[in-house]
Chains A and B, each alone.
Chain A
Amino acid sequence: MNNHLISYMVFLPFFGALLQAFVSMTRSRWIALAASLAASACAIVLVVSMQIQTSDFQQMESLPWVGSYAISYDMAIDGLNVLMVLLVAILFPVLIASEWNQKVGVRGMHGLFLVLQTSLFGVVCAQDLFLQFFFWGLSALPFYFLVGIWGGEGREKAAFRSIVAASLGDALIFSALVLVYYSVDPHSFSLKELAGGRLAGKMFDFLGYELPVSGVAFILMSAGLSLRAPIWPFHGWFTEVAQEAPSSVFVALCAGSVPVALYIFVRVCYLLFPETLSIAGKIIVAVGATNLVMGGVCAVAQKGLRRLLAFICLSEVGFVLTGIGSLNSVGVVGAVYQQLIFGLGLAGFGLFSGVISERTGSTVFLAEDGERTFGGIATRAPWISVVAGVVVASLLGFPGFGGFVGHALVIIGSYSIHPFTVVVSGGALLLASYYLFAMYRSVFLGKPGVGSHPFEDLTFREQAYMFPVVLSLLFFGLYPKPLIELIRPAVLTVLSAVK
């Protein structure tokens, strides 16, 4: 039975974006926020109404779209994507509220955020490969405009690099899709129809060579996604966007788009290429470990909050990949859980760095000569320092915060299969404790630095939009049970295909 609430959730932001473009600026803000909140409310209703201990799709909506190519509007929510629905639902109202006082083109910015919300909800819920690709391709465009119009001095270059990386990635993904589509008879884009090892043993001819469909499509898909999620060493565009994009836009990228890219990887690869995944598990873990270590090492060298955030994201992606590649139920559940938690953690980091940037006009906390530019914010603005403390604690995985759950599950799940990688990831966590506390010291403690400005604490609006993020980090850290019971059956089902 079709549940139209999914469509309301996906398209309400889009219609909100259209509507707010034709009204006055004051009204447009409220319409944008209302549209985003309404979609989020639909999402939360959908999530709350889900039953635990089942791996079936629980909320579904299916309509034919392009019949001649067997493309359908097939949307559903199950244990694998439920957390991403929740993440997008929490993130976008917060981002719209954070850009409430945007002076330049507020309607455009809010409109693009709403389109982005629609596209990410669409990607997450789509159960048809083409539909998913459609939404995924759509999600690259708002970033191009958001960075190119509202970014810093080097915005054109950063926007260009981001769209080039996204286009290349999308081209590779599309090649994988076409390969998969034509390899099954009757041709299909439906994930449900393609699942269950239907691609196993299929070969195709390329320049006289017989190549396995599953292996080639897996490589194309992985390569394509690695250009949208920051994978070392293909992350150059990402750090440049971090440098140039407004804080809220970069939060949307690293806390929204990146976890969704990882979700696509999990969903598509576990369902479509289980036999390839069983071989590629070690490679995924090796890529994850490289990301973890290089992200950590590069983060130590950072002197600005934005680039630091970019490298923390790189590290977190590595951690999630370690869990995904473990092919172990505990590890994969941890990875899926960590996608939500690191999204929220990075969102919190990006938001408080955005507030600092708004107040001081900069996010550089150490000058070139090593002098501290901030400092002493904790005494002048205690609420910001508390928010930053919660975010740091969650990113490090302290008990009571979301990061603890994700980290623990990934370590437990991965150690028995990849002990060396887990020990390496332990080293990366120690590095994280160094650079995060060093950042905290430089920004929040001590005497005000050389370029310090008068600094106000969080306003009511800022408290209002940071509250859901902080509360989520605490709640999901203290009481993860319901969410884990939602994820676990779905993970066990997809893992059974691999094993």
Chain B
Amino acid sequence: MTNQIEHSPTLLVLCTFILLFSGLAVFIWGKKLPGKGVWLVGAGLLVLLAGFGLDEGLFLKETFRVKVWMVGWIWPRQEVGALTVGVMQDLVGYAMGTLAALVSSTLLFHQFFLSRESCPEKIYASLAISTAGVSLAWNSLTPWLSFSGIALTLLGGIISFGTRSESNLEANNVARFAWERASGFLLAFFGACILTTSRSALLLSHDANWIIQGEHLSSTWVGSILLVIGLFIQTQPFPLLSGIVSKSEVYAPIRVLLTQAFPAWGAFSLLIRLQPQFLSLGLFPAFGWVALGTCLLAILSGLFQNQWRSALGAWLTAGFSLSITFLAFSSRLSALGMLLGSSLGALCIAAAGNALEEVCTQSLPHQKRATGLKIASFLGACAGTGVFGFVSAAGGIHWIIQTLQLPSLIPPFLIVFFLFVLLGWRLSWRVIRLQNVSQASWLSIFPIFIWVFLSLGILWTGTATGDVLLGNPDRLFSSLFSLFFDNQAEFSNPDEYVTASSLYWGILLLAFLSAYWTSGRKEDLLIRIAGVFPRATGFLASGYGVDQMAFQMMSGVSWLGRSAEGLIDIKIWTQWIPRGLYRGITSISQVLAEIDVQISSSLEGALKRLIEIPAKILQLIQTGDLRWYLVFALSSGFALLLHYLRT
């Protein structure tokens, strides 16, 4: 039995599907079983965690042997154009799946807030579906199963957003979310299909190489570009910021986790696994600039948001863009570090902010709980901004060191990083300043500290500081990151290390102080600036007027459609062609009728003339004006004459 589990991926797949079906069951029958949904989804999550635990335990017994299983799904797998599905169980897949399941499980403890939602069962269902999606996406051998996972995270996002869809505002939010993510998904799907046109199977494993010798690169290029763009859109960067910064009353951690983090984690499963392919195609350094630009735009928009929830959305999006930048310019290790740090940090700030925002209705205010939440918010900012001790620090410092190789790139990189950290701390200050009391239960505060724990560097890098010291003197155990990506994350050049770490810590400190100076004191400086320049800051905060432009564009398409329809359906087929046919047929028939009349009258005249002569003679004979015998004699005479003339 153990041997079978060790060599077959069926256990984990089964656990994932159990969770998925528990989510679907709660979605369908949740209302009929009030209060049971949380238990059903919780059981599903436990099953998945147990599956991961068992598999990881068996996995770690040996020397990290990756389990791979593949089957043809659509088209025979050995042929070009085959769509194959396969499971690849490696440590990074296990870790991300476990993390998603852990975060979702702990979020279930937020009963205090979740039970107040209009339909909590749908939120539990969406948690289960999205978690199953992340697990599938990260444990897939080919992109097709990853796409299924990404689609499940989208479904989870739509369901969770849709719980408040009775209001027009939330309905617009869910429709926009669905459309934007579906567009990204379809682009990525198109890209993968195009890549498949010249290959038998697209594999995500380490040793896979997508560059085909002697092949014309067009399909590889077009496919890869579409794939990257599609996955990039899953993280909702510029120009899709308006949806991220829109107002919403959905429970903030749910919004962060299910509509931002999990769909992005799904997309990152492909981006991180395919990084070597994109690098070899030269796509990644180029696309890294796009990501850096969108990161800057997201941060600038986030800085001038009136609501902390909107700013949080922008900050998390900026974090995803920064992770893609890390992936393009640095390494998968840096990218994953930043992705985990920013996601978990945003989740902490969201949960703390939501709890502190609640109006206290109880007679006895709870100051200790509010203090706990403020600490959680502070730690969330630490986790997301790369403070030492957290996983994001490993990402940040490695990125800066890589940047030192290209001195001209340092200023833009550092400016963006400074603004990112500034926004993170500004958010934290704004949440801390919300209220000094809270009625949130300890049971809902406790999971926030679990998320903080999950974002600690020691867990991922094996070092207390999160891989930021030269030579790693603080190493306690081996780094998971090194096991994930088969490379050690150690600094080799002491000079570079000193420069990089000085720059890094300097920026962190400067950003922290700037955030305090602008937002931590009594008067929020950026809000004051927004008051002085309302139009400019409004432009930034609203997402750079992209909404209006998109609206104009779609109005243009709609006008084109109406015009085409009006021209073809109404003018040509309903008016012009019937009229033309009518006129053509009537004019031809008129001409024919006239000709007919003329022919008839000519014939009539000829006939008349033909009949008139003998008729007149007969009439003369009849009336006696001409004697019949005289006519007979004359006729006989003529006949005889003719006869003799001929002979």
Q: Do A and B bind?
A: yes
Name A's B-contacting residues (CB within 8 A). 232-233, 235-237, 239-240, 294, 297-302, 330, 333, 375-376, 378-379, 396-400, 405, 407-409, 411-413, 415-416, 419, 422-423, 426, 429-431, 433-434, 437-438, 440-441, 445-447, 480-481, 484
- Asked whether A301 lies within 8 Å of B179 as measured between CB atoms, the reply is no
Q: Which 4 A-B pairs have the closest CB atoms?
A: A236-B573, A301-B561, A441-B175, A446-B171
Residue on A nearest B119 in the bound complex, by CB: A379
Q: How large is the interface on B (under 10, 10 to 19, 20 to 34, 35 or more residues)?
A: 35 or more
- Asked whether B219 lies within 8 Å of A415 as measured between CB atoms, the reply is yes
Instruction: Please tell me which one of the listed residues A375, A398, A426 contacts residue B190 in the complex, with CB atoms under 8 A apart.
Output: A426
- Asked whether A445 lies within 8 Å of B572 as measured between CB atoms, the reply is no
- Asked whether B74 lies within 8 Å of A422 as measured between CB atoms, the reply is no
Q: Chain B residues near A399 (CB, 8 Å)?
A: 144, 147-148, 151
- Does B599 interact with chain A (Cβ within 8 Å)? no
Q: Complex formed: what's the CA distance from A484 to B186 in Å?
A: 23
Q: Chain A residues near B601 (CB, 8 Å)?
A: none
Q: Complex formed: what's the CA distance from A379 to B118 in Å?
A: 11
Q: Complex formed: what's the CA distance from A413 to B83 in Å?
A: 12
- Asked whether A233 lies within 8 Å of B568 as measured between CB atoms, the reply is yes
Which label, helix, strand, loop or mixed, suits the secondary structure of the B interface? helix
Residue on B nearest A485 in the bound complex, by CB: B76
Residues of B132-158 whose CB lies within 8 A of A: 144, 147-148, 151
- Does B193 interact with chain A (Cβ within 8 Å)? yes
Q: Complex formed: what's the CA distance from A415 to B216 in Å?
A: 13
- Asked whether A433 lies within 8 Å of B561 as measured between CB atoms, the reply is no
Q: Complex formed: what's the CA distance from A330 to B193 in Å?
A: 12
**Provided the pairs A240-B569, A330-B81 are in contact, do residues A297 and B74 lie with their beta carbons within 8 angstroms?**
no
Residue on B nearest A431 in the bound complex, by CB: B557
Instruction: Please tell me which one of the listed residues A299, A300, A375 contacts residue B554 in the complex, with CB atoms under 8 A apart.
Output: A300
Q: Complex formed: what's the CA distance from A319 to B182 in Å?
A: 19
Residues of B163-184 whose CB lies within 8 A of A: 165-168, 171-172, 174-175, 178-179, 182-183
**Provided the pairs A416-B197, A446-B166 are in contact, do residues A297 and B183 lie with their beta carbons within 8 angstroms?**
no
- Asked whether A430 lies within 8 Å of B183 as measured between CB atoms, the reply is yes
- Asked whether A409 lies within 8 Å of B162 as measured between CB atoms, the reply is no
**Provided the pairs A236-B572, A379-B165, A416-B198 are in contact, do residues A409 and B75 lie with their beta carbons within 8 angstroms?**
yes
- Asked whether A415 lies within 8 Å of B557 as measured between CB atoms, the reply is no
- Asked whether A415 lies within 8 Å of B194 as measured between CB atoms, the reply is yes
- Does B505 interact with chain A (Cβ within 8 Å)? no
Q: Complex formed: what's the CA distance from A301 to B564 in Å?
A: 10
Q: Chain A residues near B572 (CB, 8 Å)?
A: 233, 236
Instruction: Please tell me which one of the listed residues B83, B175, B565 contacts residue A437 in the complex, with CB atoms under 8 A apart.
Output: B175
**Provided the pairs A398-B151, A412-B81 are in contact, do residues A481 and B74 lie with their beta carbons within 8 angstroms?**
yes
Instruction: Please tell me which one of the listed residues A298, A416, A440 contacts residue B565 in the complex, with CB atoms under 8 A apart.
Output: A298
- Does B511 interact with chain A (Cβ within 8 Å)? no
**Provided the pairs A445-B165, A481-B74 are in contact, do residues A426 and B186 lie with their beta carbons within 8 angstroms?**
yes
- Does B425 interact with chain A (Cβ within 8 Å)? no
Instruction: Please tell me which one of the listed residues B171, B182, B189 contacts residue A445 in the complex, with CB atoms under 8 A apart.
Output: B171
- Does B501 interact with chain A (Cβ within 8 Å)? no
Instruction: Please tell me which one of the listed residues B175, B185, B193, B194 contacts residue A398 in the complex, with CB atoms under 8 A apart.
Output: B185
A-B contact pairs, 30 of them (CB 8 A): A233-B572, A235-B569, A240-B569, A294-B564, A297-B557, A298-B561, A298-B564, A300-B554, A301-B557, A302-B561, A396-B182, A397-B189, A399-B147, A399-B151, A400-B148, A405-B74, A408-B74, A408-B189, A409-B75, A411-B193, A412-B83, A412-B193, A412-B197, A423-B222, A430-B183, A433-B186, A445-B165, A446-B171, A447-B167, A480-B74
Q: Chain A residues near B172 (CB, 8 Å)?
A: 441, 446
Q: Chain B residues near A426 (CB, 8 Å)?
A: 186-187, 190, 226
Q: Chain A residues near B218 (CB, 8 Å)?
A: 419
Q: Complex formed: what's the CA distance from A232 to B185 in Å?
A: 28
- Does B574 interact with chain A (Cβ within 8 Å)? yes
Q: Which of A237, A415, A423, A429 counts the most B-chain CB atoms under 10 A from its CB?
A: A415
- Asked whether A379 lies within 8 Å of B166 as measured between CB atoms, the reply is yes
Q: Complex formed: what's the CA distance from A412 to B226 in Å?
A: 14
Q: Chain A residues near B219 (CB, 8 Å)?
A: 415-416, 419
